[in-house]
Structure 1
Amino acid sequence: MTAHPRPVERLGAGVVKRPTRLADGRELIYYDDPGTLLPPERAADTRALDSRPPTATMRQDVFSGDWITFATGRQHRVMMPGADADPLAPQTSTNPSEVPAAYDVAVFENRTPAFGPALAEHLPDPLADAAPGWGRTATSVGRCEVVCFSPEHTGSFGTQSVARARTVIEAWADRTAALSAMDGIEQVFPFENRGEAIGVTLPHPHGQIYAYPYVTPRTQTLLRSIAAGGDDLMARVLESERTGERVVLRGEHWTAFVAFAARWPLEVQLMPHRHVPDFAALTDAERDELAPLYLRLLRGVDALYDSPTPYIAAWHQAPVAVGRDVVRLRLELTSPRRAADKLKFLAGSEAAMGAWTAEILPEAAAERLRAAIESVPDPREHR
C-alpha cells in the first residue's frame, strides 16, 4: 500500500518535497536529495495509533512573565533505544517506527509535543499583556516537528554529506515559511541537541523545530538590546568580529566566531553577512555555502577531543511579526565540555541568579577551535 498522494513540489538545489500523513493524521514530509535513488512512491502508515494527546497548557510565572508549558505526555518518551526499536528509522516488519518508508530527509509532527497540535486564529490578550498576571493560564498552541537528517541509526548533522546537509537546509527553509504562516505562531526555532550530556534521548541523527505562540524570552531580551543600542546592532557586532581574533571560519556569505562574552566553554556564533531574518529568506548562494561551511564547523568541534562533543545547535530566527528588519538569523552553538573529561554544570550562581562565571577565555577557545577546524578535511572533497 502506498501513501495517499499529495502535491509534489520542487524546491531549491533540486530537492523534491513529498508531503503525506501518518496514521493519526500528523503531517509527514519527505525531502528527497537531488538525484535520489528512492522511488517516488512511499508506503502508507498502516499502524493503529491512539488519538493524539490533548494540547498542553501553559502557566505564566508572575515574577518573570515567562510562560511555562506543562506537557506531561513527554514524561514517557523512549530513552536511547537500539537500532531494532529506533522510532526515527524507516519502518520494518518488526519496528513500527514513525516513518513508514525509506527516506533521505523526513520531517513529521511530534506525537507528544510541547506546543500544539492545536493552533489559534489569534492569541488571546493574556499572552500579549505587558504585565504578568497571577494564576494566568493559556493553551500551548503551536507546532513541534522532528527533522530526521538521515535514515541511519546513529550520527548527527555533522556526519552528513554536503548534499544531504543542503537538503536539510532546504527543509529548514521550507518549514520555516510554512510554520510562520500558521495561525498563532510568533517565532520558529530549528535546533539540534547532540549527545547524552545534553539530554538527548535518541541516538538517531535528527533535530527539531519548535513553532512558539509567543516571542521567546531570549529574543525579547535581544529586541530590548537592539532598541537601546540601535537598529544596526547585530550588523555592527558582526562587522567588528569579522576582522577580530575570535573568528574561526569565514566564507563569502558567512562568518563563524567565538562570542566576545561567551558563557559556555565553547560558544560559537555563525551569521550571514547580509541581513537575513530567517532560513526562508536565504538566497540559493547563501544556502549552498552554508552546507559545507557548517559541516566543517561541526567537524572541527568534534576534532577538539578524542570523542564526539556534546552541543546544542540553536538557530535563532527573527519573530514572525516583529523585529524582522533588525534581528538577523544566527547560529548559536554551545557546548558544556570544558576538557576531555570535564563538563560545565550550571550551579548556584548561573542557575539561580543568571550570573555566569566562565573558565575559558573566548580568544583561547577560538584559537583551539581554529586549529581543530584546520585539521579536518574540506567536506566538499568528500561528498
Structure 2
Amino acid sequence: MRRTPITLADGRELIYFDLEGDPPREVRDKRALPEPPQASELRLDELRGEWVAIAAHRQARTFQPPASECPLDPSRPGFSTEIPGPYRVVAFENRFPSFSERIEGSSTGPGLRPGQGRCEVMCFTADHNGSFADLSPADVRLVMDAWADRTTALSDTPGVEQVFPFENRGEEIGVTLAHPHGQIYGYPYVTPYTAQHLAALDRDPDIFVRLLDRERAGGRVLTSNEHWTAFVPYAARWPFEVHVYPNRRVPDLAALSDAERDAFGPVYLPVLKAFDALFDVPLMPYIAAWNQAPVHHARDTYHLHLQLFTIRRAQSKLKYLAGSESAMGAFINDIRPEQAASMLRESLTRATSPGAPGQKQIPGLS
C-alpha cells in the first residue's frame, strides 16, 4: 500500500491509498473554502446515561445532488470536488463532522462538553455507479489496509475512545450521497451498543469465542475460509443480518495479519452479492458496521467483527423501527434466522454461479 497525504484548501486532511505502481495523485486543492465548523456539543441524557451529539451545522451538508455534481467523484475541469484528482481509495476529514478536533471556545458544564473526536469519509472506488460488491479482492485488501491505517490514526487522536468504520448504502437507509463510500467515526465516548458488549465480557471474558464456536458448528453459516466465517446470528434483530468474524480473536482491524486481510474479500464479496440478488433489486439497502474494541478497554478479550444488515424484509417491504424498536429498544424480527440463512445461501449460490449477471470470479470461496 502507498499513502499520499495532502491538505485540502480549508486545512482538512486527505489521504490517497494506492497500490504500488499506481500513478502519482493530485496534491493541490484549488477551491476556496470557508473554515471547517467547530465541534458539536455533547449533552448527557441523564436518564439513559448516554451522550447525545448536537451538531446543528450538519443541516447544511450536501443532500442527494445530481450525479454530475457529486462531491465524491474525482475533480475534473470545470468542477472541483472533495478529491482533487483520480483515486483508487481515499479517506478525508468530513466537511460536516459529528465530532471534531476543533474545540476552541467550546462550552463545558454539568452534562455538557465538546464533541471532541474525528469523522472521516472513505471512498472505496472512483466509479460513481459502482459498489463495494464490484471491487476486486485486491481492492478489498487495499480498503482493509486503509481501514487499519485510519483505525490506528484515530485511536491515537486526543479524546477518541472508540473507532467505528461503517458503510451506509441506499436511499432507504438515509444515504445523502450515492457515490459508494463509508465513514469512520472517532467517538469521544464508548457507544451504548459496545458498552453492552463490555458488560457481557465482564460476565464472561470468553463469550465471543464461545458464540463463534457455536455458530461455526451450527446451521446458519453462509460461507467461510481459513480465516473468516460469515453467518446469520442465532438472535438476529434484523430480517436479513449477517455477522462476519475473523476466526482468530483480534481487537481491531489494525491487528489483522496480512493473510487475514487477504482472506476477507473472498468471504465478504459473495455475501454482498447474495444481498443484492436476494430480491432482485438493483441495490439492496444495507448498513455494514465494524465492531472494534474501544481504544482503552477489553483489548485482550474483544473480538472484531462486521455486522451487515438490510432494512428490507421482502421485495417491496421495509422493516421500519416503529414503537417497540425505536421507543423501547426491544427488537421484534419478522423472519426466523434459520429461514433467512437458507434464503441467503440460495441467493449466494445464484449470485456466485458461473454466468450469473455481473458475476466476477471470486477465488477462495468455500
TM over 0.5: yes
Q: Residues 28 and 108 of structure 1 are in contact (CA less than 8 Å); yes or no, is this contact kept in structure 2?
A: yes
Q: Residues 253 and 272 of structure 1 are in contact (CA less than 8 Å); yes or no, is this contact kept in structure 2?
A: yes
Q: Which runs of 5 or more structure 2 residues have no equivalent in the other structure?
A: 354-358
TM-score by structure 2 length? Answer: 0.93
Q: What secondary structure is seen at the aligned counterpart in 2 of 1:113?
A: coil
- Work out which of the residue numbers 226, 240, 252 in structure 2 matches 1:252: 226
Q: Does 1:66 align with 2:50?
A: yes
Alignment of 1:316-335 (within 5 A): 316-335=291-310
- Counterpart for residue 381 of structure 1: 361
- Whole-Å separation in 2 of the counterparts to 1:331 and 1:237: 15
- Counterpart for residue 176 of structure 2: 201
Q: Residues 169 and 291 of structure 1 are in contact (CA less than 8 Å); yes or no, is this contact kept in structure 2?
A: no
- Work out which of the residue numbers 30, 44, 47 in structure 1 matches 2:16: 30
Q: Does 1:181 align with 2:156?
A: yes
Letter in 1 for 2:175: V
Between 157-166 and 356-365, the greater mean CA deviation after superposition: 157-166
Q: What secondary structure is seen at the aligned counterpart in 1 of 2:133?
A: helix
- Counterpart for residue 268 of structure 1: 242
User: What fraction of aligned residue pairs are identical, expressed as a percent?
Assistant: 50
Q: Residues 25 and 87 of structure 2 are in contact (CA less than 8 Å); yes or no, is this contact kept in structure 1?
A: no
Q: How far does the alpha carbon of each residue in 1:53-87 deviate from its partner, in whole angstroms, 9 at most, with x for none?
A: 11111101010011000111111222222222110
- Whole-Å separation in 1 of the counterparts to 2:267 and 2:140: 10
Alignment length (residue pairs): 355
Q: What secondary structure is seen at the aligned counterpart in 1 of 2:48?
A: coil
Q: Does 1:104 align with 2:88?
A: yes
TM-score by structure 1 length? Answer: 0.89
Q: How far does the alpha carbon of each residue in 1:148-179 deviate from its partner, in whole angstroms, 9 at most, with x for none?
A: 01111123211222221111111000110111
- Work out which of the residue numbers 145, 157, 167 in structure 2 matches 1:192: 167
Q: Which runs of 5 or more structure 1 residues have no equivalent in the other structure?
A: 1-14, 127-134
Deviation, structure 1 residue 24: 0.8
Q: Residues 6 and 27 of structure 2 are in contact (CA less than 8 Å); yes or no, is this contact kept in structure 1?
A: no
Letter in 1 for 2:73: A
- Whole-Å separation in 2 of the counterparts to 1:125 and 1:83: 41
- Work out which of the residue numbers 131, 136, 142 in structure 2 matches 1:167: 142
Letter in 2 for 1:69: A
Moved runs in structure 1, 4+ residues, more than 4 A?
A: none
Deviation, structure 1 residue 267: 1.2
Letter in 2 for 1:273: N
- Work out which of the residue numbers 289, 314, 318 in structure 2 matches 1:343: 318
- Whole-Å separation in 1 of the counterparts to 2:21 and 2:68: 29
Q: Residues 230 and 267 of structure 2 are in contact (CA less than 8 Å); yes or no, is this contact kept in structure 1?
A: no
- Whole-Å separation in 1 of the counterparts to 2:131 and 2:113: 35
- Whole-Å separation in 2 of the counterparts to 1:158 and 1:86: 20
- Work out which of the residue numbers 300, 321, 325 in structure 1 matches 2:274: 300
Q: Residues 4 and 25 of structure 2 are in contact (CA less than 8 Å); yes or no, is this contact kept in structure 1?
A: no
Q: How far does the alpha carbon of each residue in 1:8-52 deviate from its partner, in whole angstroms, 9 at most, with x for none?
A: xxxxxxx1111111011101000013442x2x2524002111011
Q: Residues 108 and 114 of structure 2 are in contact (CA less than 8 Å); yes or no, is this contact kept in structure 1?
A: no
